[in-house]
Structure 1
Amino acid sequence: MTPDITVIILTKNEEKNIEAAISSAKQISNRIIVIDSGSEDNTTFLAEKNGAEVFFHEWLGHAKQFNWALDNCDINTTWVFRLDADERISKELAQEINIKVKNTEVVGFEMRWRVYFMNKWIKHGGTHKPYFLRLFRFGRGKVEEKLMDEHIIVDGKVEKLEGDLIHYDYKGIDAWLSKHIWYSNLELSMYNSQMNMTGGNVKQKRKRSIYYKLPPFFRARLYFFFRYYIQMGFLDGREGKIFCFMQAYWYRYLVDAKIFEYNLQNK
């Protein structure tokens, strides 16, 4: 383990996740910072109990919250790792990080998600393909000011890692629905105000642009067909079908319904 990485975790009411997140972070760091935005459960107590430093900052969005941590938490390590409370650094990823950060000229590292849904690893449907940047040299990166799907933008060379960052946040279908209702509101706001913003992932921006040029509601059907059949989501069994169905016919259809309602109200 190297002490030259600071791990930053943003939280609100994450008592079910925070201990596992901190435990995984300790594989790569001696300093773990939790930026809490007003938890009403035992999140902050458990974070401090497990050795993290806890700071309070009023919630202004993922990007502003993380950038505030970069500017206000006296970070003196070479590297910073952004970890969500519902994520775990796999052992393979931790071992790779601890080796590669010691002798490298790159300024950032990209990795992939290993997504779990209903306690099953969803290996197909496109979930394990995209790379995203989470580890970067302090002072060489910031999070772009987007409402959602924000990226860390760095100045310099980026390298891909082989190990996975595990996304494990299934608290039941009700919690999943509530979380995605919140996401749908952010998606609506971004559709109206930030759709043309780009970031570290140009491919994602291009895909989003193409998607929103397709006919509303019908594009949700195409989204399901693409992820379930073309990207072989059906290979993940019943859990995979539920996951693809909920992502497309529930979440994406809900976003289109909100866009439709917004347009009606603002004619």
Structure 2
Amino acid sequence: MNSRFRQVALIGKYQTVAGGSQGSRARPALADIAAFLQSQGCAVVVEEQTATNAGLDGYPVLDLAAIGQQCDLGLVVGGDGTMLGIGRKLASSGVPLIGINHGRLGFMTDIPFGSFETVLPPMLHGEYEEEKRQLMHARVLRQGNCVFDTLAMNDVVVHRGNSAGMVELRVEVDGHFVANQRADGLIIATPTGSTAYSLSAGGPILHPAIAGWVLAPIAPHTLSNRPIVLSSQSEVAIEIASDREAIANFDMQSLSALHHGDRIIVRRSEHSVRFLHPRGWSYFDTLRQKLHWNEGITSS
């Protein structure tokens, strides 16, 4: 029986330095998965940096732009960091992604590597759950000019960097003044990012189906300054209100040396990331497993 997905792109830890030990360790896993995909009737291509870093040859090689144009499915092997980068870059193409966890936590790469031979076949033949994860579109404006423009799947974080003092921020939502805040920083998180830095800062977990964002302060000076959930249709503006050092992070991307008066504008992106999960998948199962809920509790 042929796979529903004719051409599948295999994408690994593409950020690994070529020839490095991580790339060498990833090669056997990627080679096993590639051979398995072929046995399921899929035409396999390998993302170019994955092929270089892992030393994986014998398959056609495409860059991410070509994968977005030509492939029916992306199979991402690694951890959540790998999936974040790939998800942002392939979101505009609409290519669905399946994640095989060959990293650590694995909120988004939810298929254990040791289980791919049993979990993947039904998915490749159409038995899967699909969900869409929203993205944020963030820009940094300096004296009215855009100096940085990017997408984020997890969060946008403005923080004090290496400065010993707090950063001072002016926060607006949909053009309405919210507050001037003194804190170590401020997080705007999507539901995907609500289990990342925002959770550590005391923010709530948002189910991915909720069209909302978390606005969470980091160690605020005023303790009544609490996390708040906003509509993802809102536009959030954060203005640097002092001359202290401030840095902005957009998932894994950083912009250092923000200036007094710089404005970080965050809106919902028109693009979203398509994730495919095994049939019967539940977000609550993921939370229970990854956050170790119910440990030590015996069910009756």
TM interval, shorter chain, is 0.3 to 0.5
How does the TM-score come out when normalised to structure 1? Answer: 0.35
How does the TM-score come out when normalised to structure 2? Answer: 0.32
Structure holding more helix per residue = 1
Structure holding more strand per residue = 2
